[in-house]
Structure 1
Amino acid sequence: MSALNRVRLVLFCLLFLPLAAFSQQQAAPTPPPDQLPAASAPISEARDSNLVLDVVVTDRSGKPRAGLTQNDFVVRDNNQIRKILSFRAVDSAAPAEPVKIILLVDEVNTSFTRVAYERDQLKKFLLQNGGQLTHPVSLAFFSDTGTEMQSGSSRDGNALLADFDQHVTKLRTIRRSAGFYGAEERLDLSLKAIGMLAATESKEPGRKMVIWISPGWPILSGPNITLTAKEQQGLFSSIVYLSTALRQARITLYSIDPLGVADAATTRVFYYEEFLKPVSKPQDAQAGDLALQVLARQSGGQALNSSNDITQQITRCVAEADAFYTLTVEPVPSDRPNQSHVVAVSVETAGMTARTRSLYYGQP
């Protein structure tokens, strides 16, 4: 089978987006295919009556800004100003339920030697302030056999580091076929992992921040890849599925590229920006629309690269849990299934930038 045909096959198979094993301490077997949900199936229609947005407002230096009120915000859905039904400011002066922060180490898309470097950088982060973290953190590890998540969250960086050290001793070199065939497998494993993570976290209340340390999975898009209408429909269904799953789980996704300055001069670190525009119809769907960095930016998070200081980048992401705003708005009605909606939140204060989920798919 040619590489082109294999690309078309894997994209079409994404319609079903089978969910990978995801456990608290040990990966569980993947359920049989007949027990897997189709990507086009509704996630939870009852939870879509109103749109919940977690908004971070930063100043010119990039520092999160606290102290704003509801009157400072304007929310637009497909260019229509929407009424804010509820408003909550979360900061040190108005504490709420802790934000769940998940640090996920990607051992599938990152080399063994680079994961070892990540370990040193994570150690520095966990041992800041004598190991007393400002927010509860949990660790997750994505490998060939599934995603392993340490049970519970903790502010004790020393205890988290002990768990991490125990896991690192089990690492092995990823023995996967090279070239295109390996890229296909990594894409498949990665999308299964993020889908299962969203499905698992949707059962828990509150906001979650998932910091995915990875250069990202293969984009598998380009001018020489042509898909049939049926294949594009399947890919579009997967795009809608993952976007909806992340939104309903209230996950803000962050990606940190551990390749650092070694990758800074390449076009790869910016190529994902070609796919940031919302996909409104199947005939526009490409595999690049499911890139890690694209999902992160569309969820309201960041895609960080070109720095060897992973510790600082993690700290930068975690700081966005210090001050943010949760807005509930009435969405613009959808007149067709899977209608794309562009969301924009602005603040009236000069020099302030609001960042939140920029896209969702609505149902009539």
Structure 2
Amino acid sequence: MRRPARCHCGARRRDGPDLLPGPRRPRRRLRRGGAGAVLKPSPPLRRPLLFVLALCFGAASVGAAPAQVPPETTFGEAVDVNVVNVDVYVTDKAGRPVSGLRKDDFELLEDGKRVEITNFEAQASVPSPPPPAPAVPAPPGATAAPPPPAGGDPLHLVVYVDNVNVQPAHRARALQQLGSFLDRETGPGDRVMVVTDDMGGLHVRQAFTDDRAALARALDEVTRLSAQGGENDRSRRTALDAMYMIQEEALALGNVDNKFADENAEPLEVPCPVRIADPIKSYAESSRVAVLRTIASLKLFVNSLSGLPGRKVLLHVSDGVSVTPGEELFQVLQELCGGGGASSGATGSAADPASQTVDARQFGARSYQASQAMLDAQSYSTADEWTELAAHANANRVTLYTLQASGLEANSAASAESMGGGREQVLRTGSVLFIETNNRRDSLNVLASDTGGRAIFNANDLVPELERIQQDLESYYSLGFAPRRAGDGREHRIEVKVRRDGLQVRNRRSYRDKSPLERSADRTLAALFYGTEENPLEVRLDVGEVRPAEGKTFNVPLHLRIPLFKLFLQDNLQTQALVGKVRLLVATQGADGGISRVRQVEVPIRIPRDKALVALGKNFQYDLTLTLASGDQRVAVGIVDAATAQASYLARNVRVGEEAAK
């Protein structure tokens, strides 16, 4: 993709885990992970119980008793300069990007109160650099060198295909066009990932890469996977048929009872009996469970992106997900039992009495009242959950673009009679179709609009829409401000205004200011998931000899070496020593994709003053022992200088088992 030119106006300080004062730009290394990984949570690690100068830390069992250290005194000051960056897209009335704006053209509000824009950057598209010469293949087992970092914030683009909520034909058409677009526009240094949400969970089909051939293979693989989009339509038709069957039975029983009724007969059956709503309620409930699963999967993946540096963009491909599952069937029921079908087109067929509307009010409490239908429908709403998901994406600086793969949809009202039937065809009439279409779009609208992205609807030719997304990625403004309550962990509203007429603004609508420890945990997980390493402390991480432990577990020693001159150490007059503190964060991922919770310990450092000159030229050593199950494991370690908040994040792949132990 074309590289944006950057105009720096003021000091640049990033939000996220960069905690040093001033506009520090740490070195970044990107190492690709493998394809086919599955993300899912697993039981947390136990708490560490023993650490001295050489720390022993177990992932499933650890020992206990901190070494005695002198009473801690204040040394230095941990300065957490956190700037929240808001990416702003400005267009004219024709939707074209607007360039040339200055900081004074913008007004930024946090929770309705104006805040000072401390950092301002304007980015505009420039041509991509020519592709580099082919690299010499690395020797077997070596880690591939990461691409050189591009200027400015790195961009991570995720193509997220929701196989649970898309039909195969729609998916194939969308991915074919998307693949052609990526093949043309992906350039050296771009970071693109392909992920699918399947009935079995999330699967990484292609880790972050700029390899066009690898991306093409991954998208081709996705088009051959199973897709469940049609299953929901079949379940909905089944519920509709069951509703009409109940009405048919009620009408038949009513006719028989009326013919043979006497004073000792059973109470007459009436049209629209109360039980007529049962199939619809059952469908709505099962569909709601499926929608909540979809939201949970998206939230899990968005959370996994949180520790990646720079901008994160997720392109969500689906046919849409209903905000209020089953609402269109409740609309059918309202019109069937409310006698209102004549105004909407759902009058039914003359040849099918069960599909013809009746006024159930005349039958009282023995009938399902049409006025209850929309109240029942709202009990299955997931609107709040979609709003919370968008806020969660904002908290992790993830912008969502949503692509409805079903393409151009006609929304013209017609009568069921004119469409040749009064049952299934009722779903394509009037207000019923309107509700179903809007429900599928509302979820996609919320995700896109609340996070500053775009929603793509009614587009069979996706190229113009994909080009607009590319314009967003290459031409935008970044506004930075310092929160009033740094690291309070709460959600805050954001509003951006432009002091020029006729311009339209898009940006994320909220943010959550994470604590420094939470941001460090995010970075540790990013190293675990995606191999994004940072090492300003120049830490060396080595894997020792694997040894059998209790049961079917193994002890895996990790050796950390930290140059002492890289740490902040203060002269403590009381103890006649240089003292400091390091925070250590550890997370692991098993062969099955199970992820441990990030655990953190604080390790004090004490160097006698008379040995300081010699010690500062040496390394400080930590020995970590993890107790892990057999199989291919991945370990990530974060090392944070508590005084300066400077941190290194490293990850290693570890083969655990009998062969490794030998």
TM-score, reference length from structure 1: 0.70
1:305 match: 457
1:162 match: 217
Is the 8 Å Cα contact of residues 240 and 338 (structure 1) preserved in structure 2? Answer: no
Q: SS where residue 262 of structure 1 aligns?
A: coil
Is the 8 Å Cα contact of residues 64 and 322 (structure 1) preserved in structure 2? Answer: no
In structure 2, the CA distance between the partners of 1:164 and 1:61, relative to structure 1 (3 Å rule), is same
Give the drift of 1:124. Answer: 2.8
Equivalent-residue separation in structure 2 for 1:134 and 1:311 (angstroms): 23
1:217 match: 321
Larger Rg: 2
1:42 match: none
1:13 match: none
1:204 match: 308
Q: In the alignment, does 2:501 pair up with 1:350?
A: yes
1:86-145 Cα deviation digits (max 9, x unpaired):
22223346942332122222211111221122232223323436x759954322222212
Q: In the alignment, does 2:403 pair up with 1:256?
A: yes
Q: Unaligned regions of 5+ residues in structure 2, if any?
A: 1-32, 45-78, 127-149, 237-282, 328-373, 413-432, 515-662
Is the 8 Å Cα contact of residues 25 and 150 (structure 1) preserved in structure 2? Answer: yes
Q: SS where residue 91 of structure 1 aligns?
A: strand
Equivalent-residue separation in structure 1 for 2:471 and 2:192 (angstroms): 13
1:113 match: 169
**Aligned pairs for 1:235-254 within 5 A:** 242-254=389-401
Aligned residues: 309
Sequence identity (%): 22
Q: SS where residue 224 of structure 1 aligns?
A: helix
2:7 match: none
Give the drift of 1:55. Answer: 0.9
2:38 aligned to which of 10, 23, 28: 28
Equivalent-residue separation in structure 2 for 1:109 and 1:245 (angstroms): 21
Give the drift of 1:158. Answer: 3.7
The alignment yields a C-alpha RMSD, in angstroms, of 4.0
Q: In the alignment, does 2:437 pair up with 1:296?
A: no
1:38 match: none
Q: SS where residue 460 of structure 2 aligns?
A: coil
Q: In the alignment, does 2:135 pair up with 1:80?
A: no
Which amino acid in the other structure matches residue 110 of structure 1?
V
Give the drift of 1:148. Answer: 2.1
**Aligned pairs for 1:124-139 within 5 A:** 124-128=180-184, 135-139=190-194
1:134-182 Cα deviation digits (max 9, x unpaired):
9543222222122222444344434311222233334355685723255
Equivalent-residue separation in structure 1 for 2:302 and 2:490 (angstroms): 19
Equivalent-residue separation in structure 2 for 1:122 and 1:235 (angstroms): 29
Equivalent-residue separation in structure 2 for 1:309 and 1:47 (angstroms): 47
1:297-351 Cα deviation digits (max 9, x unpaired):
10111122011112332232122111112212244669x9966x44221222333
Q: In the alignment, does 2:90 pair up with 1:57?
A: yes
Q: SS where residue 95 of structure 2 aligns?
A: coil
In structure 2, the CA distance between the partners of 1:263 and 1:77, relative to structure 1 (3 Å rule), is farther
Give the drift of 1:239. Answer: 6.1
Is the 8 Å Cα contact of residues 92 and 98 (structure 2) preserved in structure 1? Answer: yes
Q: Unaligned regions of 5+ residues in structure 1, if any?
A: 1-22, 36-45, 274-287
Q: In the alignment, does 2:102 pair up with 1:69?
A: yes
Is the 8 Å Cα contact of residues 177 and 462 (structure 2) preserved in structure 1? Answer: yes
Is the 8 Å Cα contact of residues 324 and 378 (structure 2) preserved in structure 1? Answer: no
Give the drift of 1:243. Answer: 3.9
2:160 match: 104
TM-score, reference length from structure 2: 0.41
Which amino acid in the other structure matches residue 31 of structure 1?
P
Point out the more displaced range, 346-355 or 247-256: 346-355
Q: SS where residue 139 of structure 1 aligns?
A: strand
Equivalent-residue separation in structure 2 for 1:166 and 1:271 (angstroms): 30
